[in-house]
Structure 1
Amino acid sequence: MNTSQLAAVPPSIDPPFWRGLKWGDHLFAGLVLLAGGIAFGRYHALMDVYEQAILLAAVAGLIAFGWFWKPIRLFVPLCGLLALGGVALYGDDLARGQSAFWLKYVLASQSAVMWMCVLFFLAMLMYWVGLLRRSDTADAIGSWLTWAAAGAAMVWFFVRWREGYLIGADVGHVPVSNLYEVFILFCFITALMYLYYEQRFATRRMGAFVLLVVSAAVGFILWYTFDRQAHEIQPLIPALQSWWMKIHVPANFVGYGSFALAAMLGVAQLLSSYGVLASRLPSYDTLGEVMYKAIAVGFLFFTIATILGAMWAADAWGGYWSWDPKETWALIVWLNYAAWLHVRLVKGWRGNVLAWWAVIGLLVTTFAFLGVNMFLSGLHSYGSL
């Protein structure tokens, strides 16, 4: 082909992304828009302009997420239907939670979270059976149990939200306000992130390690429930009566979930490097790659959450930053993972040093989340054990 012929060939242009959407994508988007429209129609009078904007962003974000990751197109509608079933069974009478069979044993928030705990424990056991016995069947069962546990957590979220308003208009709030609620959010986010990487890298052999940290959180939830009665819905304290909470807390816990997932993969990578379970685990490089992607996502969301937290502080206390212990330790966490990403992307570091760093990073993050509230005092000293 000569020069004139080459010039006559039109350049290739990628078609717009919407040309690649299938009927399932459009159906999912329609369902989400319908649900969002119904929610807006029923509750817009109770929402300020910021909360309406959050609803709009949540609808758009969920549609985009469903287009990006196909399993969400089935997972979200199924969980939504179950949650709507629980809300409908309640009607306007909270006492029905003790008499209606499906509420009492399945769909009431406390029933749903108990199912979540059991399913996560079973999933962890099946993943370990699959890892130790090289059983694809056990791995598949572990994966399905993890999906079911995440579904129970999502049902819990919406039903508990409704239960709060059944107690009283001044009590109801989005359930991300205390340690009990955010630990369930942590389990949900970490599980979904793991399930994405499980599909993306076509391996279920990471689940045994990731479900360990989720199960540890489940153990805390059970202790906190039965020892401290933390599952009881309480009114929000004044410091948390803000629409900022609805976006700051979930963004934070995408970060926490990502860092926890990366740390457990760091443990797996370290064991593999010393020849422990090396033949059963994904390759050393695969574990490192998933760890890197998880930290990158977590760092992005933790950065967003930190910015949102500063804006919330300015709105509530008149200043963006006060060097409160919680803020200081959040900065330490941010700097830790910024340095981790820097040495990997710029300096080209790989291997065990980054795995150890990810594991130690989770300890730093855990202290920033729990330890500060337990041992230090400050403006954020409202979430204690």
Structure 2
Amino acid sequence: MSVQAEQPFTRFEKSFPSSQKQNLAWVIFLSLGALGIWVAFRAQFWMWQYIVLGLWYAGLLWFGLKWPHFRLFTLVVLAIAGSGVGLYALGYNDGNSLLLRYVLHSNAMFDWMSAAILISAIGYYTYLFRGSETGGLWGQRFAWAAAALGFAGLAIRWRETYIGHPNWGHIPVSNIYDVMALFCAMTILFYLYYEEDTESRGLGAFVLPLVLIADIFLLWVGAAYHLDRIAPLVPALQSFWMKIHVPSMFVAYANFYISAMAGLAYLLKDRALARGGFLRDRLPSLEILERSFSGTIAFGFLFFTVGTILGAVWAAKAWGGFWSWDPKETWALIVWLNYAGFLHARSQKNWHGRPMAWWAVISLVVVTFCFIGVDLFLGGLHSYGKL
């Protein structure tokens, strides 16, 4: 009887492999999630909310089907964020809960993320300079942990914006502290995808130290300027468009920074092939590195274009015009033209190799000034971002 009972299940296993079952489970999970969001918030939805929900659903579905590790990562982030949000829902806060104060509060989560980034960078450095596979493995593990803590911390921080006053509630991308946390988590996540795609950990010794610098800046603006404290939004930021413009730009920024590090790794690898050295064996091939910095620029350019268009729409709503030659807008145009020139030279002029690697590296200066420099040093309509 037991044999007969097992036969249909055995036939099902053979006809429906484990990978297909996992893909189906991911589709069902996301579909139920999207349906739940629609049921909970449909009274507040208008056309653009439906469009954004559909794009998020399609994007997460595609990413999860293409990259199985992303599925587990998503569940971990939801579990951590759900724990923090759940404690707030039960009436706890960082004053009466040690777990919230030292672990699940967003600021604590970003501190733990900082520790994970530091350990990850050390692990990748150990792999690059000493050839330690164990160091590279731990670098990768702590990179996953840092990304999960970063995204979960942002989700919890979103909930925390409603605690000071219900009208304060907003997506946590409103100041430099918030967006630096987003940048760190986003850059690490995209790097992990490219690491798996290239089957090499050598680039981690370039990307994670760069993220560590951004993380130190995050801690500095939090401690020195108290930007880690949640405050009400200025009128210009009280807009639906902030929810889609800023994340789009940071998908672009993350990929642009990875492209610069891949370009630097290309130049060092090329030099090591000519003169010898340990980098010759511990970095991906020149072909893979060129594909990496070109692919990340193309992907980032797509999102930067979309984000710039969304920013223009937001500007029209907030300030009455799509374009005003504000310093942030001007530098965004410079960044767009720079990477458009890169893609044109590569596709139409057939430029390859060292010139394009140098272009990717030097572009780091342009994109960094657009990302941070304008907010720090220039005024204009984006002066709310200054320290």
2:360 equivalent to 1:363:
no
Q: 1:97 to 1:52 in 2, by over 3 A?
A: farther
**How does 1:70-219 map onto structure 2 within 5 Å?**
70-91=68-89, 93=91, 96-219=93-216
C-alpha distance after superposition, 1:205-228 (max 9, x if no partner): 110001121111101011111111
Identity %: 45
Q: 1:335 to 1:117 in 2, by over 3 A?
A: same
TM-score w.r.t. the length of structure 1 is: 0.90
CA distance in 2, matches of 1:269, 1:113: 32
2:33 equivalent to 1:35:
yes
Out of 234-243 and 344-353, give the one that drifted further: 344-353
CA distance in 1, matches of 2:95, 2:53: 32
Cα deviation, residue 257, structure 1: 0.7
Q: Is the Cα contact below 8 Å between 2:315 and 2:322 reproduced in 1?
A: yes
Partner of 1:233: helix, strand, or coil? Answer: coil
Q: 1:375 aligns with which of 374, 377, 381?
A: 377
Counterpart residue identity of residue 266, structure 2 = Q
Cα deviation, residue 46, structure 1: 5.0
Cα deviation, residue 197, structure 1: 0.7
Q: Is the Cα contact below 8 Å between 1:90 and 1:97 reproduced in 2?
A: no
RMSD after superposition: 2.0
C-alpha distance after superposition, 1:9-62 (max 9, x if no partner): xxxxxxxxxx99711112122222333333343344455553354234323321
C-alpha distance after superposition, 1:275-313 (max 9, x if no partner): 252332222222111111111111111011111111111
Name the counterpart of 1:327.
Answer: 329
C-alpha distance after superposition, 1:308-340 (max 9, x if no partner): 111111222222212111111111100000111
**How does 1:309-324 map onto structure 2 within 5 Å?**
309-324=311-326
Q: Is the Cα contact below 8 Å between 1:178 and 1:383 reproduced in 2?
A: yes
Out of 61-70 and 256-265, give the one that drifted further: 61-70
Partner of 1:75: helix, strand, or coil? Answer: helix
CA distance in 1, matches of 2:215, 2:187: 12
Q: 1:92 to 1:45 in 2, by over 3 A?
A: farther
Counterpart residue identity of residue 315, structure 1 = K
C-alpha distance after superposition, 1:101-132 (max 9, x if no partner): 32222211111111111101110000010111
TM-score w.r.t. the length of structure 2 is: 0.90
Q: 1:280 to 1:60 in 2, by over 3 A?
A: closer
Counterpart residue identity of residue 322, structure 1 = S
CA distance in 2, matches of 1:104, 1:40: 32
Q: Is the Cα contact below 8 Å between 1:288 and 1:351 reproduced in 2?
A: yes
Counterpart residue identity of residue 188, structure 1 = A
CA distance in 1, matches of 2:355, 2:237: 39
Which stretches in structure 1 are left out of the alignment for 5+ residues? 1-18
CA distance in 2, matches of 1:35, 1:107: 23
Q: Is the Cα contact below 8 Å between 1:325 and 1:372 reproduced in 2?
A: yes
CA distance in 1, matches of 2:61, 2:94: 32
Which stretches in structure 2 are left out of the alignment for 5+ residues? 1-16
Cα deviation, residue 259, structure 1: 0.8
CA distance in 1, matches of 2:75, 2:197: 22
**How does 1:231-310 map onto structure 2 within 5 Å?**
231-275=228-272, 277-310=279-312
CA distance in 2, matches of 1:43, 1:128: 46
CA distance in 2, matches of 1:55, 1:170: 23
Counterpart residue identity of residue 85, structure 1 = S
